[in-house]
Structure formats: structure tokens, C-alpha cells
Structure 1
Amino acid sequence: MKFRDHLSALMLPFGALILIPAALLSVSQDTTMGGEVPYLINIIILLFGVSILLVGFALMVLTIKMFYQIGKGTLAPWAPTQRIVMNGIYLRTRNPMISGVILIIVGEGVLFSSWLILLWSFVFFIVNHFYFIFSEEPGLQKRFGEDYLRYKKNVPRWIPQRNPWNPNHKAGE
């Protein structure tokens, strides 16, 4: 895997996390949440936004690292993983990387008190939801076959399950 592949793969989250929110902030001076709020509430909102953002960032970094180390690829469709990643957080939910990106965008929306950025997080989720259903999942099924179908059957798309799936467990054992 070339450094250039990794660098180009980071352009996708850069656009979603930096460029689009910055553009929305630049055109939305009058569409923020509320007006003057007490200092303590501002601090609470700031801490809440930063907390969401940091959890999302940690999730995104962890999953990108797993794509590289375990999957031998990147998050970009033009340099995909060579192996299916069925480890760690991927045993609880199939899309933790995008969940991390969504959390970052929500954190930005809270941090900047921007309804437009929060709306962007919802639009981003909906677009990815349908992309996964109609493009990514069929592609993964074609690339990884029965392994992916078994994984898909046992691990939810979005909401993490409480107990991680055990890929070594066979039904009826």
C-alpha cells in the first residue's frame, strides 16, 4: 500500500469533517442555536461537543488503523481492504468508522451551536446508509462471499450490539 493511497483516502473524511462544516458555518451566521446563554451553560455545551467529537475521532482513528493493519487497505473505495475486518469494534457493528465520522460532525454541530452542521450529520448518515445498502454491501458480498454474508447476518449495520459476535462459533454448537 502506497503512502499516496493513504493520503488520498483521507480526502473523503477531510471533506465531510472540515470543508463542508466550514462552508456551512461561513454561510450560517444567523442559523445557530439560541442566542446569549449563561457562561456555565456555554462551558457545558463546549465540553459536551468536544466529548462527542473526541469519541468520534478515536473511533475513526482506531478503525482506519484496523483497515490498514488487518484489512491491508484503506477506507477509500479505490484502495479497499484485501481482507474482511472482523475484529474489535467490528464484532459489535459493521460500520464503526462512519459512526465515528458522524459523531465528529455532531460534535462540531454542538460545539459551534450550528443547526446546519447537525442537519449535515443527518444528511451524511442517510447518504451513507443507502450507499451501504445499494453499493458497499453488495460489493463486499462479491469480494468476500460467504464470510461476509455470515458476518452481515450476525453483526448489525449501525447500532452496536451489547455482546461482540464470535466468528469462530458455529450455529448449533
Structure 2
Amino acid sequence: MRRAAVGTFVFLLAAPGVMAGLVPWWITGWARSSASYGVLDVVGVLLVGLGVAMVLDCFVRFVREGVGTPAPIAPTEFLVQGGLYRHVRNPMYVGVAAVILGQALVLRSTDLLWWLLVFLAAVVAFVKGYEEPALHEQFGASYDRYRAAVPGWLPRLTPWRG
């Protein structure tokens, strides 16, 4: 489990850290285009906080429940279906998107909104083209049942019990 934790931490820095941290910084330099504060800032900060919490929860779950990492080169031994994964199949990507959207609101950056669209297009293509087929190959019928019951992007209100 220690190896899974170390690999997961490295992947946390390499993937979400780059997508929701380094790239937004490259785009904006963290500079705001407005000096005033208001509702957009509150919503943005809440989205960033919620997104970070979602991503961290998912990464911990990959280590504890899946005994592996989110990285394709070191996948989990078990299908992760607990916690946020009971509501939506891709909470990690949804969390990263929430962070980017929150930053766009706080920084008043349309460039970050464009980055969000690019990020989402890339993620959906990756999920459909690689991740879902790989999970089907690795976990078979249990993944198929899970996929049929839990939506990919918009959370279900009641948790799936499997």
C-alpha cells in the first residue's frame, strides 16, 4: 500500500497539479482582471475548495480501496466504487474542472474558461477512448454493472449501492 500511496502522490502532482495548477498559472500568472470582489469570488472560492477536496478524496480512495494509483501505468487492483464514486464515475475529473472553473471566476479570466473547455474535451476523449475500455478489460462485468448504474459526469443524487 505504501507503493500505491507514493505513486498516487506523484501522479497527483503530475496530472491534477499541472492541469489545475501549473497551466492556469501559465495562462494568468494568478493576476485578476478586476479589483472588486463579489459573488463570483465567493462561488469561485467554493468551487476551488470543493474541487480540491474531491480530488484529494479520490486519490486517497485509489490507495485505500483500489490498492493502486489513478495512473494508467500503475492501475488499481480493485475497482474503486466507494465515496464520491457512488454518485459519479469520474469525480476526479469533475473536481479538477471545478478547480479550473473556480479559478476562472475568481480571476475573471475568459482564457481559463477556454482552458476548461480544452481540458474537458481532452478528458472526455481519454475516458471514452482509453479509460472505459481498459476498465472493462480489467474488471469485466462488475465494471459494466457499475457503468450502467452510475453516470459519468453529472452526479446521481442517491448513492449507488452496487
TM-score, normalisation: structure 1: 0.84
Identity of aligned residues (%): 30
Q: Secondary structure at the match of 2:160?
A: coil
Q: Secondary structure at the match of 1:77?
A: coil
What residue identity is the alignment partner of 2:7?
D
* Aligned match of 2:11: 9
- State whether structure 2 residue 119 is matched by structure 1 residue 124: yes
Please report how far the alpha carbon of residue 6 of structure 1 lies from its aligned counterpart in structure 2 after TM superposition.
2.8
- State whether structure 2 residue 24 is matched by structure 1 residue 21: yes
Contact 2:86 2:160 survives alignment (8 Å): yes
- State whether structure 2 residue 96 is matched by structure 1 residue 94: no
Question: Cα RMSD between the aligned structures?
Answer: 1.9
- Residue-by-residue CA offset, 1:122-164 (whole Å, 9 max, x unaligned): 2111111111111000000000011001111111111111222
- Residue-by-residue CA offset, 1:11-35 (whole Å, 9 max, x unaligned): 1111101111111114x97xx76x5
* Aligned match of 1:50: 45
Aligned partners of 1:47, 1:162: CA distance in 2, in Å? 24
- Higher Cα Rg, which structure: 1
Residues 1-173 of structure 1 mapped to structure 2, 5 A cutoff: 1-2=2-3, 4-10=6-12, 11-26=14-29, 39=36, 42-167=37-162
**Moved segments of 4+, more than 4 Å:** none
* Aligned match of 1:171: none
Structure 1 spans left out of the alignment, 5+ residues: 168-173
Contact 2:8 2:59 survives alignment (8 Å): no
Please report how far the alpha carbon of residue 4 of structure 1 lies from its aligned counterpart in structure 2 after TM superposition.
4.4
Aligned partners of 1:91, 1:6: CA distance in 2, in Å? 21
What residue identity is the alignment partner of 1:66?
R
Please report how far the alpha carbon of residue 44 of structure 1 lies from its aligned counterpart in structure 2 after TM superposition.
2.5
TM-score, normalisation: structure 2: 0.90
Size of the aligned set, in residue pairs, is: 159
* Stretch deviating more after TM superposition (3-12 or 142-151): 3-12
What residue identity is the alignment partner of 1:121?
L
Aligned partners of 2:91, 2:161: CA distance in 1, in Å? 17
